C-alpha cells in the first residue's frame, strides 16, 4: 500500500465472536486484513451476545438491537417507547464515535435490527459512506416501513395523529435525533455477488453502478492435507450452516436415507455442523429417528472457527441443500478450498461459483432423491470425485482468494474516502 492509511469506522449489527452467519465472519476478516495493511479501524456493533455495553478500544459493543420485529411489545405506545429508546442510544453512540475517532470513511455492513437511521446520521456528519451488502437487507428495506421512520412519517390518518407526529418530530429534533432518511444514495455499494445486486435493482434501489466484490477464503488455512496411505472412499458427508428450514438440512438427511437404505451404501454418514431454530433442530432429530439414522447422523452443534479446517479434513463431500437464494455461501467456498467435493443447489450467488460436472455436482432445490443420485455418482467414480475436488480448489484459488478481495475492498474504500460526501467530487479532482 502506497497511499496514506485510512481511518475506517466499520458498522455492523453483529460482529464475532458473537455472530449468527457468514457475513459477520467475512466482516471480521476484512477488518483484520485492512488492519494488517496499516489502516486504523474501529468497529461499532450491537450488544448481541454480551450482557452490557463494552469496548476493548477497537470494537465498541454499544448499539441496541431488536430482533423481535415488534412481537414482544403488545402496546403500540410501549413499542414506540422501545424504538425511541433504541434510537436515542444508537444515534448518540454513533455521533460520539464519529467525533472521537474522526474516520475518513464509514464502512457499513448491515444496519438491520439496529438502526437504519445510522445511514443519514453518518451523511449528516459529512463522512463518506461505503456499503458492503452480503444479504438482502437493502432489497427489502423501505423507509416508510422502517419502525423508526414510520414513527416520524409526515402524514397520518387524521389530524390528531398528524399533530402527534409533528410534536414527535419537533421533540426528536430538539434532542438531536435524525428522523428523516433523506434521498436514497447507495452510490458506493459493494455487493458480494451479482445475485444480490440484481435483487436490489429489482427492488428499485439505485445501485446500477455498484461494484461486485466476491467473498473470499483463506486458502492457506482451508486446504486439503492428504493422509498417509491409500485414499479413503468418499463416504463422510458434511453439512455446515444454520439450522433453519430454508437451508434444506432435512433434504440432506433424506438424501442420506436414500443412499443407505435404497442404494445400499451402509457405510456412509452425515455430520451436521451449526445451530439455529430450536424447533427445526428438533424436527431434524425426529426425522433422523424416523429414518433409523441415529448411528449415521452426528449433530455437532456450533464449532469454533479455528476448528473448522480440521472438520473439513475429516470429511469428503459437502452437502449444500439450500432452498433459498443466498448471497455467496461461505461454507461452500471453504469446503471447496479444503478439498471437498460439493453437491449442492445453485441458488442465488451459489450459481456464480458452482459449475456442474466441473467443480461440483448440482441438484434442484428440495429434491433429496436428486441429491442422493449426485452423491452416488461420486461414490461410484473415484476419478469424478478427484476431478471435482481439484477443480473446486482451483476455482477458489483463482477467483475467491483473500488477497484479491482485500485489494479490491481497499481500493474501493480509498476512492470513497477521497470524495466529498456532498458533491461526490474526488478531492484530487477539485480545483
DSSP assignment of 110-160 equals E-TTS-TTHHHHHHHTT--EEEEE-SSHHHH--GGGSHHHHHH-S--SSHH
| pLDDT, position 79 | 82
| pLDDT, position 419 | 78
The CA distance from 201 to 228, in Å, is 51
- 7-216+403-429 and 236-400 agree in CATH topology: yes
| pLDDT, position 233 | 80
- Hey, where are the domains in the chain? 7-216+403-429, 236-400
| pLDDT, position 430 | 33
pLDDT, tens only, 126-149: 999 999 999 999 999 988 788 888
User: In this structure, which CATH number among 3.40.50.2000, 3.40.50.1820, 3.30.565.10, 3.40.50.300 belongs to the domain 7-216+403-429?
Assistant: 3.40.50.2000
What are the angstrom distances between the C-alpha of 399 and each of 219, 333, 372? 11, 10, 29
pLDDT, tens only, 287-313: 999 999 999 999 999 999 899 999 999
Q: Is the pLDDT of residue 1 over 60?
A: no
pLDDT, tens only, 346-381: 999 999 999 999 999 999 999 999 999 999 999 999
Q: Is the pLDDT of residue 323 over 60?
A: yes
Q: Which grid coordinates are listed for 326? A: 443466498
Per mean pLDDT, which range of 9-23, 26-40, 99-113, 170-184 is the poorest? Answer: 170-184
Q: Is the pLDDT of residue 43 over 80?
A: yes
Q: Which grid coordinates are listed for 141? A: 428495506
Q: Is the pLDDT of residue 279 over 60?
A: yes
pLDDT, tens only, 196-209: 999 999 999 999 99
Q: Is the pLDDT of residue 431 over 90?
A: no
| pLDDT, position 161 | 64
pLDDT, tens only, 69-90: 554 445 577 888 888 899 999 9
Q: Which grid coordinates are listed for 365? A: 432445490
Q: How many helices (H) and strands (E) does the chain have?
A: 14, 14
| pLDDT, position 145 | 82
Q: Which residues neighbour 139 within 8 Å (Cβ) at sequence distance 6 or greater?
A: 196, 199, 200, 202, 203, 205
List the strands of the sheet with 317-320, edge to edge: 297-301, 269-273, 236-240, 317-320, 341-344, 361-362
pTM of the model: 0.87
Measure the CA dihedral 420/423/427/431, to 10°.
-150
The CA distance from 431 to 428, in Å, is 8
DSSP string over 410-421: HHHHHHHHTB-T
Provide the pLDDT confidence category of residue 154 given band limits of 50, 70 and 90. Answer: low
The CA distance from 267 to 234, in Å, is 10
The secondary structure element, H or E, covering residue 273 is: strand 269-273
Q: Is the pLDDT of residue 163 over 90?
A: no
Percent of the chain with pLDDT over 70: 91
- Mention the CATH class of domain 236-400: alpha beta
Q: 3-state DSSP call for residue 221?
A: coil
pLDDT, tens only, 191-240: 999 999 999 999 999 999 999 999 999 999 999 877 666 677 889 999 99
Per the listing, cell 429489482 goes with: 202
The CA distance from 110 to 92, in Å, is 18
Query: Who wins on pLDDT, 325 or 101?
Result: 101
Mean pLDDT score across all residues of the chain = 90
Amino acid at each position: 500500500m502506497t497511499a496514506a492509511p485510512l481511518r475506517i469506522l466499520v458498522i455492523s449489527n453483529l460482529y464475532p465472536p458473537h455472530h449468527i452467519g457468514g457475513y459477520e465472519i467475512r466482516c471480521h476478516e476484512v477488518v483484520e486484513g485492512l488492519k494488517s495493511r496499516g489502516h486504523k479501524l474501529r468497529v461499532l456493533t450491537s450488544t448481541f451476545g454480551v450482557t452490557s455495553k463494552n469496548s476493548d478500544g477497537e470494537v465498541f459493543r454499544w448499539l441496541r438491537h431488536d430482533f423481535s420485529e415488534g412481537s414482544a411489545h403488545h402496546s403500540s405506545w410501549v413499542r414506540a417507547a422501545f424504538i425511541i429508546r433504541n434510537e436515542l442510544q444508537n444515534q448518540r453512540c454513533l455521533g460520539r464515535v464519529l467525533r472521537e475517532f474522526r474516520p475518513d470513511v464509514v464502512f457499513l455492513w448491515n444496519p438491520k435490527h439496529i438502526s437504519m437511521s445510522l445511514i443519514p446520521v453518518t451523511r449528516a456528519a459529512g463522512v463518506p459512506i461505503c456499503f458492503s451488502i452480503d444479504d438482502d437487507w437493502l432489497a427489502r428495506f423501505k423507509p416508510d416501513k422502517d419502525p423508526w421512520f414510520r414513527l416520524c412519517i409526515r402524514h397520518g390518518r387524521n389530524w390528531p395523529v398528524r399533530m402527534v407526529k409533528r410534536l414527535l418530530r419537533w421533540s426528536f429534533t430538539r434532542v438531536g435525533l435524525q428522523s428523516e432518511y433523506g434521498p436514497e444514495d447507495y452510490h458506493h455499494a459493494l455487493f458480494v455477488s451479482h445475485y444480490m445486486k440484481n435483487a436490489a435493482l429489482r427492488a428499485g434501489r439505485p445501485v446500477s453502478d455498484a461494484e461486485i466484490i466476491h467473498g473470499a477464503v483463506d486458502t492457506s488455512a482451508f486446504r486439503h492435507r492428504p493422509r498417509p496411505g491409500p485414499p479413503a472412499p468418499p463416504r463422510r458427508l458434511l453439512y455446515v450452516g444454520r439450522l433453519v428450514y430454508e437451508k434444506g438440512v432435512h433434504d440432506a438427511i433424506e438424501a442420506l436415507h436414500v443412499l443407505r437404505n435404497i442404494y445400499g451404501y451402509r457405510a456412509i454418514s452425515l455430520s451436521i455442523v451449526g445451530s439455529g431454530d430450536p424447533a427445526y433442530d428438533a424436527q431434524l432429530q425426529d426425522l433422523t429417528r424416523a429414518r433409523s439414522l441415529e448411528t449415521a447422523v452426528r449433530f455437532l452443534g456450533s464449532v469454533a472457527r479455528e476448528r473448522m479446517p480440521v472438520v473439513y479434513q475429516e470429511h469428503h463431500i459437502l452437502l449444500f441443500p439450500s432452498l433459498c437464494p443466498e448471497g455467496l455461501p461461505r461454507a461452500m467456498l471453504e469446503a471447496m478450498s479444503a478439498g471437498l467435493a460439493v453437491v449442492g443447489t445453485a441458488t442465488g450467488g451459489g450459481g456464480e461459483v458452482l459449475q456442474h460436472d466441473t467443480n461440483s455436482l448440482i441438484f434442484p432445490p428440495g429434491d433429496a432423491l436428486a441429491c442422493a443420485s449426485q452423491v452416488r455418482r461420486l461414490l461410484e467414480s473415484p476419478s469424478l470425485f478427484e476431478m471435482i475436488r481439484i477443480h473446486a480448489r482451483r476455482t477458489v484459488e483463482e477467483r475467491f482468494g483473500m488477497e484479491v478481495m482485500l485489494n479490491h475492498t481497499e481500493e474501493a474504500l480509498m476512492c470513497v474516502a477521497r470524495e466529498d460526501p456532498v458533491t461526490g467530487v474526488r478531492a484530487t479532482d477539485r480545483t
